[in-house]
Amino acid sequence: MNYSICKRCNELFERNGKEYCDSCTQKLNKEFDLIIDYIKKYPKATVIDIIIDTGVSLKTINLMVEEGYVSYVPNDDNNADNRQLVVKIQKLISKRGKFYSRELVK
């Protein structure tokens, strides 16, 4: 048997040609569908918009980019208002718990 560490949850699983355990594969498929549906509805959405409105984490989005499921494209909106960005970031932070550095939590 061939075992590997899941790239998402870091758990040991029977590989069988996959990079993710069965649980994470199912979650990734659901989150991929969420992202695609969201982008279809809001084609000019930013990564922050996607994270806030779908709940999909940046780590998951980066995994999907790394695997080739989705890709980042430059934002064509040169008139993006910094105040809007600040509001989005504040909204994102308010939904999440506190951030801790691994170095500080020893």
Quick: pLDDT tens for 52-103: 899 999 889 988 888 888 888 876 665 556 666 667 666 666 655 554 444 4
Q: What number of other Cβ atoms are within 10 A of residue 7's Cβ?
A: 15
Q: In the predicted model, is pLDDT for residue 24 greater than 80? A: yes
Q: What is the mean pLDDT of the chain?
A: 79
Provide the token pair at 22: 């069965």
Burial string for 41-61 (b: 16+ CB within 10 Å, else e) reads eeeebeeebbbbebebeeebb
Question: 16: Cβ–Cβ under 8 A, 6 or more apart, which residues?
Answer: 2
Which pLDDT value is given to residue 93? Answer: 61
Q: In the predicted model, is pLDDT for residue 104 greater than 50? A: no
Provide the token pair at 32: 């991929």
